[in-house]
Amino acid sequence: MKAVITGASKGIGAAIAELFASKGVDIAICARNEQDLKEFHSILEKKYPNVEIISMPVDVSDKSQIDKFSNMLKSTWSTLDILVNNAGVYAPGEVHTEDEGVLENMMEVNVYGPYNLTRALMPYFLKQEHGYIFNMCSVASLIAYPNGGSYSITKFALNGMTKVLRAELKDKGIKVCGVFPGATWSASWAGVELPQHRLMQAEDVAKAIWLQLELSPSAVMEDIVLRPQLGDL
Ligand SMILES: NC(=O)c1ccc[n+]([C@@H]2O[C@H](COP(=O)([O-])OP(=O)(O)OC[C@H]3O[C@@H](n4cnc5c(N)ncnc54)[C@H](OP(=O)(O)O)[C@@H]3O)[C@@H](O)[C@H]2O)c1
């Protein structure tokens, strides 16, 4: 199998990339910082020498970079099985006090990025009548909470896009899934003083995603909602 994972140099995306590679899935990963991406690429290459790993620095908020990435993939891979739209940014705030432009910036990464990449790679899935699309939503896609601000708006929108895709693609052999993690250890939580067990591990999210790939063709997990055992923070 072959998978594309965005925002895969750190955090949840890196955990998904590593789990997929450990299962023998060829992976194409992207993130903005080229150095971080190269370092992660070479770690994976050493650990999983039999897996093909492609990496490219891409800012998913920039449509021309999405086009470059998808064109490179189309000239390299004749098939694609899995797309994980994971890249996302989080800025806490309140709609009525946050800085001007915060909503626009997060929409570009959290919504337009997945929208444009999904559209660019859809020809693979339609031609094959097979494929898996995972959109990294959040519990902030399901409930509003104080200080969620524009982040929550963008994640509700991504959930909306996921539901639309599910309705459009259910009779085309393509499984669409929204992933809704609660608090998960990653760079976003750096400096927060909480005991290790209070948040989930990025690997927990990766393992839940993998379960979808083990289902028969007649079943799909539409939503994967994961929370820390002790609940939301
Ligand atoms: N951690 C949580 O508690 C939590 C909970 C619910 C949902 N989520 C969602 O899960 C996803 C991953 O979060 P995370 O906590 O793992 O984040 P993270 O540790 O900050 O990692 C984010 C990854 O995305 C990349 N990235 C950021 N902006 C990008 C852009 N414009 N284009 C391409 N790549 C970009 C980053 O690399 P560069 O900076 O080099 O680009 C990095 O590889 C996000 O969509 C987030 O909203 C996280």
Q: Which tokens belong to 182? A: 């609660």
Residue at 173 is within a domain:
yes
Look up the CATH number of the domain holding residue 47: 3.40.50.720
- Please work out whether the CB of residue 228 comes within 6 Å of at least one atom of ligand 1: no
Mean pLDDT by groups of 10 residues along the chain of 233 residues: 98 98 99 98 98 98 98 98 98 96 98 99 98 98 95 98 98 98 92 92 98 98 98 94
- 44 alpha carbon – ligand 1 mean position (Å): 19
Those residues whose C-beta lies under 8 Å from the C-beta of residue 29, and which sit 6 or more positions away, are: 4, 5, 6, 8, 9, 13, 17, 37, 40, 41, 53, 54, 55
Give the count of domains, the chain: 1
Would you say residue 7 lies in a domain?
yes
Q: Can you give the pLDDT at residue 196?
A: 87
CA dihedral 34, 38, 44, 50 (to 10 degrees): 110
The rounded Cα 203 to chain-centroid distance in angstroms is: 13
Nearest CA to ligand 1 atom 24: 7
Q: How confident is the model at residue 55, as a pLDDT?
A: 98
Residue 189 counted as domain residue: yes
Identify the helix (H) or strand (E) that includes residue 166: helix 149-169
CA quadruple 112, 107, 207, 47: dihedral positive or negative?
positive
For residue 233, being part of any structural domain is answered with no
Q: What's the confidence (pLDDT) of residue 187? A: 86
DSSP per position, 80-107:
--EEEE---------TTTSPTTHHHHHH
CB 54 within 8 A of CB 29: yes
Whether 78 is covered by a domain: the verdict is yes
Q: Report if residue 48 sits inside a domain.
A: yes
Q: How long a stretch of residues is the chain?
A: 233
| 216 within domain boundaries | yes
Per-residue model confidence (pLDDT) at position 52: 98
Q: Which domain holds residue 171?
A: 2-226
Q: Is residue 155 part of a domain?
A: yes
The ligand 1 atom at the shortest distance from the C-alpha of residue 59 is: 32
Ligand 1 atom with least separation from CA of 151: 47
Is 132 one of the catalytic residues? no
Q: What is the pLDDT of residue 209?
A: 98
- 121 CA to centre of ligand 1 in angstroms: 20
